[in-house]
Structure 1
Amino acid sequence: MTAVLALGTAPLGNLFTEITDHQAYDTVAAAWRQGVRAFDTAPHYGLGLAERRLGAALRDRPRAGFTVSTKVGRRLEPTGTATGDDLAHGFAVPASHRRVWDFTADGVRRTLEASLERLGLDHVDTVYLHDPDDHAEQAFREGYPALERLRSEGVVGAIGAGMNQSAMLTRFVRDTDVDVVLCAGRYTLLDQSALTDLLPAARERGVAVVVGGPFNSGLLADPRPGSTYDYTAAPPALLDRALRLKATAARHGITLRAAALAYCAAHPAVTTVLVGARSPAEADDCAEQFRTTVPAAFWAELREDGVRGVPGTSEGGT
């Protein structure tokens, strides 16, 4: 199966900096014009703002023509005040709600119901348990069975977990009946750790893998001093590696962005590459880069440099 491009909506929730409703709408519209039909969101992104903006942008689109995934595990509770902001969690929005970790069966249902209301949809196609790193017992004992029930009731189509690590996702693949997992930042040109456990297990079990964070939150999109890696300032050693990768890509007539997306898409377990965009120009660029053909000579050079999972190898795609 050839991997498809999906739009991630954390930037539409004012990740790091504020954007307007109009800009958010135009970003989704640009992705749609580029053929993107899969959209991922979460209550966490801007305290529900991303879900509301995505729902508004998709309202006049044919429901059978797109898929939406959202997440459960962080339940939003009103604070009763809009003073302060949410920048401590990375979002430039008023602190009108607080996040409550809740992987109980009741919490899963309540969180999903609130998401559907914000999205203006009667169902979503996929629901993930969102970052259950420190809540594994409750997520496996209560949250996952709740998702199984929702799936059996037809409330959701597919269920899974989304995390920034591969170890617990591998446990979900091996020990549960998830349909899909979302692995962010652990299968990129700078971090191939998912190759050790998650990707082989998913391929063996027939579980779909969505790769998020193909640019490691920015470094592989535009490596320069001040670039972010996993949402914090990139360490100098990683910045140097990214700059070398950029130079290698340039020698082969492509951008580092195109190489980063193609690397993620090539693995046979990967069905979707998830990229965030905060403007129509970024949405257009992501789609154009995703369509770029990466020359075999580029992959050969990366293979010689010790990058794991390069297309054409036993670990990577064909």
Structure 2
Amino acid sequence: MRTTMLGGSAVQVTHLALGCAGIGNLYQPVTEEAALATVEAAWDAGIRTFDTAPHYGLGLSERRLGAALRGRPRSTFTVSTKVGRLLVPNQDDGLGDGLGDDLANGFAVSATHRRVWDFSADGVLRSLEASLDRLGLDRIDVALLHDPDGHAEQAFTEAYPALERLRAEGVVGAIGVGMNQSALPARFLRETDIDVVLLAGRYTLLDQDGLAELLPEAAARGRSVLIGGVFNSGLLTAPSPGATYDYAPADRPVLERALRLLEVTERHGVPLRAAALRFPFGHRAVAGVLTGARSPEEVRDTLEQLRRPIPDALWDELRAEGLLPPDTPVPAATPSKDPS
């Protein structure tokens, strides 16, 4: 699988990365065996970049990823994790109900811990130390500020300088920010020396918000963008009433737009999810796409869709139908340009 260096760093990422929220029991339980098999299938497919976070299953994702990678040469893979949420142990309330579950936060795990926002310098150090312990690794390749939406100033004045020092000391290889919006990451690109932005859901066939400012800013500064959420919470896999968009049921205008996208891709004999996977690679700032999986079958399907040829006429029709802005960059259709 093709690889790219992140920004000005020495950290290498494969063009397809495995997002590991799913193996942290996102929305539903995943067995230990299935989690390990999922990472194994990704490895067999040539994926060498894995993204996780303490938030994902209250540390379960990090523990499972670390177990799956154990024994593999450390120089052969790249792991990114995140800072900004510390995991603090909960106590049984003694009322016979145990600790409850974490489904309110999206994960089918026992609520053994609670998340505490902390973008202080000390919080960054404590978070990374705990992540290294759960992963069983000696270093983190990429450290990302995780969703600092409501904590922007502390993230800029305390967390970011801490990450910059850790990068200078060689403790982490690359630093950046991971968010579901584009405005604040664009500010980070302008005002700091981050290497990468993980942008979720804001540069997709449904939403090109990142194209206005963030992607041009990254390209101009030689920084990289990883694109997550290419299916917009599942809507671009199978648009239908009740499908989710941004983690909630899609409203009617968004659903109708997704159905129009489906009509166009089907006219060209291309599954919608294949076009959604390939679309971000059209922009020169995009270093890779990150997709989640909870089974080997999902990994293999992702690879199959990514490798499908997409005719130029499909992108032309999406522009002509007003489903993409006229100046939106799109990936080349030739096999030699295939990102995998």
TM-score range, shorter chain: over 0.9
Report how many residues are paired: 316
Q: Quick one: which amino acid aligns to residue 242 of structure 1? A: A
CA contact (8 A) 2:17 2:51 kept: yes
Q: Distance in 1 between matches of 2:104 and 2:89?
A: 17
Determine the structure 1 residue equivalent to 2:224. Answer: 208
Determine the structure 2 residue equivalent to 1:112. Answer: 128
Q: Distance in 2 between matches of 1:34 and 1:317?
A: 22
Shift of 1:315: 4.5
Q: Does 1:232 align with 2:248?
A: yes
CA contact (8 A) 2:42 2:299 kept: yes
Determine the structure 2 residue equivalent to 1:74. Answer: 85
1:263-274 pair list within 5 angstroms: 263-274=279-290
1:38-49 pair list within 5 angstroms: 38-49=49-60
Q: Quick one: which amino acid aligns to residue 150 of structure 2? A: D
Determine the structure 2 residue equivalent to 1:193. Answer: 209
1:1-318 pair list within 5 angstroms: 4-81=15-92, 83-308=99-324, 313=327, 315-316=329-330
Cα deviations by residue, 1:139-158 (Å, 9 ceiling, x for unpaired)? 00000000001101101000
Shift of 1:314: 6.2
Q: Give unmatched runs, 5+ long, in structure 2.
A: 5-13, 93-97, 333-340
Q: Distance in 2 between matches of 1:159 and 1:253?
A: 40
Q: Distance in 2 between matches of 1:291 and 1:9?
A: 22
- The alignment partner of 1:165 has SS state of coil
Q: Quick one: which amino acid aligns to residue 104 of structure 1? A: S
Identity %: 63
User: 269-278 or 233-242, which moves further after superposition?
Assistant: 233-242
Shift of 1:309: 5.8
- The alignment partner of 1:94 has SS state of coil
Q: Distance in 2 between matches of 1:309 and 1:159?
A: 31
Q: Quick one: which amino acid aligns to residue 250 of structure 1? A: E
- The alignment partner of 2:115 has SS state of strand
Distance 1:58 1:309, change over 3 A: farther
CA RMSD of superposed structures (Å): 1.5
Determine the structure 1 residue equivalent to 2:336. Answer: none
Shift of 1:106: 0.4
Cα deviations by residue, 1:101-160 (Å, 9 ceiling, x for unpaired)? 000000000000100110110011100000000000100000000000110110100000
Q: Quick one: which amino acid aligns to residue 240 of structure 1? A: E
Shift of 1:65: 1.1
CA contact (8 A) 1:85 1:92 kept: yes
CA contact (8 A) 2:177 2:185 kept: yes
Moved over 3 A (4+): 307-310, 313-318
CA contact (8 A) 1:308 1:315 kept: no
Distance 1:52 1:316, change over 3 A: same
User: 3-12 or 17-26, which moves further after superposition?
Assistant: 3-12
CA contact (8 A) 2:281 2:330 kept: no
Q: Distance in 1 between matches of 2:197 and 2:44?
A: 27
Q: Quick one: which amino acid aligns to residue 23 of structure 1? A: A
Q: Quick one: which amino acid aligns to residue 119 of structure 1? A: L
Q: Distance in 1 between matches of 2:43 and 2:304?
A: 13
Q: Distance in 2 between matches of 1:72 and 1:129?
A: 5
Q: Quick one: which amino acid aligns to residue 40 of structure 1? A: D
Q: Distance in 2 between matches of 1:309 and 1:115?
A: 41
Shift of 1:247: 2.1
Q: Distance in 2 between matches of 1:222 and 1:123?
A: 39
Q: Distance in 1 between matches of 2:150 and 2:39?
A: 33
Q: Distance in 2 between matches of 1:188 and 1:27?
A: 25
Q: Distance in 1 between matches of 2:331 and 2:217?
A: 15
TM-score by length of 2: 0.90
- The alignment partner of 1:118 has SS state of helix
CA contact (8 A) 1:75 1:100 kept: yes
Shift of 1:228: 1.1
Q: Give unmatched runs, 5+ long, in structure 1.
A: none
Shift of 1:33: 1.1
Q: Distance in 2 between matches of 1:103 and 1:217?
A: 27
